Amino acid sequence: MRLGLRDGRTEVRDARHRGPLRIQRAFHPEPDGAAHLVLLHPPAGLVSGDRLQIDLEVEDGARALFTTTGAGKAYRSSGAEASTTTRLVVGAGADAELVPQESMIFDGARARLHTHVDLGTDARFLGWEVVCLGRPACGERFERGRLRLAFEVARHGRPWSIERGRIEGGDPLLDAAFGMQGWPAFGTLVATHASLEAVRDAIASFDAPVAATSVESGDRAEALVVVRVLGRDGAHARSVLERARHAVRTSWSRPPVDPAIWRS
């Protein structure tokens, strides 16, 4: 999918799909003409061997937000890995937010989540990944299976931040004090052009482990703000990242407008 400016409003210039992955239309709930896009995956989950690939482009000067209709799911696998790969290119002076709802990794799943973002000159970006291991509401823990994660941000093709992880079902790390401390969900947010102090103020009262830091580039004064959180489920972890997102948007001089699908 490719988005660009037309008469001051961001619109979909091209959208193609193969298989059960598509959009309906762009929404414009903001006064600056930013487009909100909801990615639809009617099956709602991935089974053994499924592969989803999402390629997104935001042209120079455009403003876009991408989210999903609900929580994604990776079901128990018979052996083959299921994967979702998202690639986002953000043009010069453009704003892009990649804020899907949480991913639920069922016990016994074998899944891979990979996101790669490449930013142009002065492009602003905010993105997150929220994961829930097992199904806490019914007492299911992540005792079997495997999850592989990668979240990469680059500027003009040059790596800026690379997050990679591998979680094995039943790993002692899930309960260790230096690991997830028994919390079943976790989330990571990254954002450019943000105030670290404002983000820390926004998340200070959260009732679970959370921290914010920054990643600086060797030849730029610009820093990438990174927020990490643990939660009792995916929605709980995402709720603190929403607070951080509002603080980032304030730094961007944009109002804290949420996608309508989050409250429906």
The pLDDT of residue 217 is 67
**Cα 129–Cα 153–Cα 15 angle in degrees, nearest 5:** 75
The residues near 216 (Cβ < 8 Å, ≥ 6 apart) are: 222, 223, 224
pLDDT > 70: what percent of the chain? 98
Task: Write down the pLDDT at residue 57.
Answer: 98
pLDDT band for position 204 (50/70/90)? very high
Give me the mean pLDDT over the 196-224 stretch: 87
For residue 104, pLDDT over 60 is answered with: yes
Domain that holds residue 248: 2-263
Q: Is the pLDDT of residue 179 over 70?
A: yes
pLDDT of residue 215: 86
pLDDT at residue 98 greater than cutoff 90 = yes
Contact 245, 189 (CB under 8 A): yes
Cα-Cα-Cα-Cα dihedral sign, residues 91, 93, 94, 95: positive
Neighbours of 78 (CB within 10 A): 10
Q: What is the pLDDT of residue 24?
A: 82
- pLDDT at 44 (0 to 100): 80
For 85, residues 6+ apart whose C-beta sits below 8 A from its C-beta are 51, 52, 53, 54, 114, 115, 116
d(CA 238, CA 246): 12
Measured in degrees and rounded to the nearest 5, phi and psi for residue 68 equal: -130, 165
pLDDT for residue 219 is more than 60: no
Number of domains in the chain: 1
Higher per-residue pLDDT: 198 or 218: 198
- The residue with tokens 């896009």 is 37
Q: Sheet containing 158-168: which strands, arranged edge to edge?
A: 9-14, 2-6, 51-58, 82-90, 110-119, 146-155, 158-168
d(CA 92, CA 94): 6
Mean of the pLDDT values across residues 154-173?
94
pLDDT at 79: 86
What pLDDT is recorded for position 249? 97
pLDDT greater than 60 at residue 143 = yes
C-beta of residue 184 within 8 angstroms of C-beta of residue 209: no
Q: Decide if 230 contacts 181 (C-beta within 8 A).
A: yes
pLDDT band at 132 (very low <50, low <70, confident <90, very high): very high
Q: Bigger pLDDT: 43 or 187?
A: 187
Residue % of the chain over a pLDDT of 90? 91
Question: What is the four-CA torsion angle of 18, 19, 20, 26, rounded to 10 degrees?
Answer: 10
Rounded to 5 degrees, φ, ψ at 135 are -125, 90
